[in-house]
Amino acid sequence: MTHHVLVIGGGQNAEHDVSVKSAAAIGEALRSGGFEVSAVTIGRDGIWTAGQRPLGRSAAASLAAALPLLERADVVFPAIHGPIGEDGTLAALCALTQKPVAGSGLLAGAIGMDKWATKVVAESIGIRTAPGRLVRAADMEGIAFEADVVVKPVSGGSSYGVTLARDTVQLDEALRTAARYDDRILIEHVVHGREIDVAVLREADGSRWAAPPLEIHSSGLFDTATKYNGTARFTVPARLDSTDRAALTQAALALFDALGCAGVARVDFFLTDSGPVLNEVNTMPGMTAESQVPRMFAAAGVPYEELVARMVAAASIPTAAPRADEQLESLRSA
């Protein structure tokens, strides 16, 4: 068994506070399971902190001071959500230092964080996505849509910067909101369907499986406020017939494989009358015991402490992007 795990939380983005909670919960669960745990938090300013002690006065100096912590760890558990963390940044650091990471590698993190790139991959393996377009913040003047649209930053999570727009005035406001988080913006037609999440886990032996799906019940857009103010309702397992459940599970596993994910990933869908439509992928989803992914695995008989322990057991050293022929074969077989 791996004994020493370095848990990294925080981050330099809007999801900092959410990540701090995930990291604290993961660390506590691992300690209760007999692991030795070290914890470090990356501040919004890029300064790494161990306990209450900043490791240096600049981002570069604090990273250098944190390297001995990586050296002593058997596994790194990067519990950072969002850009400069979940997007493969920390996986790249682990690759450079040859440290196993509990989660996806740099390629899966980078593509999964990019909602536009994820759409391209999904559509290439036959998974439907919402009609939409990519715009840059510098080119968003004069954008118009005849239908209701959802506007979101291309890179980001926890629904920060995501807005529903029903007319030109709302669209202009939504674009400006999204531009505060990313200079690339995704505009998608509204998809009418049930919101269903599927969590996938890759085990230490390389096998992967999906937990019972979860349904989100929300009267409107499942935005940041709804996610964290306690008003969201979930049904786990979601009430699905065998056909819908099989279609959702198959799509989640196929996308997990096509992106090259490891550890845990949450794949979010809209279930329409014509089948699943992809919403997005999270390669490092919220990981408190109350978060959606742990709820789904609990419904499968895997308690929270066991889930994080399995992620540590399956940790591996991130590698560079696979050879082009290997990646193409993955897409074909997904």
CATH number of the domain enclosing 141 = 3.30.1490.20
The span from the first CA to the last CA of the chain, in angstroms, equals 32
Query: What is the domain extent for residue 28?
Result: 4-103
Same domain (yes/no): 177, 241 = no
Q: How far is Cα 247 from Cα 267, in angstroms, rounded to an integer?
A: 13
- Closest by CA to 287, choosing from 33, 76, 22, is 22
Cβ proximity of 283 and 261 under 8 Å: yes
3 state SS of 165: strand
Burial of 237 (0-12, 13-18, 19+ CB in 10 A): middle
The pLDDT value given to residue 155 = 84
The pLDDT value given to residue 137 = 85
3 state SS of 74: coil
Same domain (yes/no): 46, 147 = no
Place of tokens 């690759």: 95
Place of tokens 């996308």: 255
The pLDDT value given to residue 198 = 98
Domain total in the chain: 3
The pLDDT value given to residue 226 = 54
The pLDDT value given to residue 323 = 43
Same domain (yes/no): 290, 260 = yes
Same domain (yes/no): 92, 118 = no
Same domain (yes/no): 56, 154 = no
10-residue mean pLDDT series, the chain (334 residues): 89 92 97 96 96 92 96 96 92 95 95 94 96 88 83 80 88 90 92 96 97 87 51 90 98 97 97 96 94 96 97 86 47 50
Boundary residue ending a domain (159, 189, 219):
189
- Under DSSP, the state recorded for 321 is P
Boundary residue ending a domain (189, 216, 233):
189
Boundary residue ending a domain (141, 160, 189):
189
Residue 84 φ/ψ, nearest 5 degrees: 60, 45
Same domain (yes/no): 142, 92 = no
Same domain (yes/no): 162, 293 = no
Sheet containing 149-153: give its strands across.
132-136, 184-189, 149-153, 163-165
Q: What is the largest CA-CA distance in the chain?
A: 58
- Whichever domain contains 98, its CATH number is 3.40.50.20
- Whichever domain contains 263, its CATH number is 3.30.470.20
Same domain (yes/no): 137, 82 = no
The pLDDT value given to residue 325 = 45
Same domain (yes/no): 264, 121 = yes
Same domain (yes/no): 136, 117 = no
Same domain (yes/no): 115, 136 = no
Cβ proximity of 29 and 306 under 8 Å: no
Burial of 197 (0-12, 13-18, 19+ CB in 10 A): buried
Q: How far is Cα 30 from Cα 24, in angstroms, rounded to an integer?
A: 10
Q: How far is Cα 114 from Cα 14, in angstroms, rounded to an integer?
A: 16
The pLDDT value given to residue 333 = 52
The pLDDT value given to residue 141 = 80
The pLDDT value given to residue 320 = 52
The pLDDT value given to residue 327 = 47
Same domain (yes/no): 15, 74 = yes
The pLDDT value given to residue 157 = 61
